[in-house]
Amino acid sequence: MVWFTLVVDDDAAVRTAIAGLLNSLGWDVRLFASGSEVLRSNIISDAACLITDVRMPDVTGVELHDRIVRQGNAVPTIFITAFPTPDLRATLKKDGVVAIFEKPVDANELADCIDQILGKP
């Protein structure tokens, strides 16, 4: 089984930056521009971690996380958002959510978080 991190963001620059960081740490990454693309894929059960933007057209990051959980996949999830609010943070206190980062994401903090939840590849 191949373990990888799913990175889901409608902003290509953010996807690319996060993928570069994770690749430099030794992690295999799968990139998606939308939550609906992830849901149509058949790779969710092999994901070691999900990093997703909160606000995306079509299927939001929150909806994506909820659907994955309902499918029976307990994927540790990291949310990223440009619009952090106390209400949003309260909403995101869900099973499997391990962190919430504000954009722009601090690369060192994200790397530390990934290391804590996944260890080293």
pLDDT of residue 41: 93
Helix (DSSP H) and strand (DSSP E) numbers for the chain: 5, 5
Task: Quote the CA–CA distance of 28 and 4 in Å, as a whole number.
Answer: 5
Strands (E) located in the chain: 4-8, 29-32, 47-53, 77-81, 97-102
Report whether pLDDT(29) > 90: yes
pLDDT tens digits along 32-80: 999 999 999 989 999 999 999 999 999 999 999 999 999 998 899 999 9
Please give the pLDDT value at position 55.
Answer: 94
Query: What was the pLDDT predicted at 121?
Result: 66
Asked if residue 88 has pLDDT above 80, the reply is: no
Domains of the chain with bracketed CATH: 4-118 (3.40.50.2300)
Sheet holding 29-32, edge to edge: 29-32, 4-8, 47-53, 77-81, 97-102
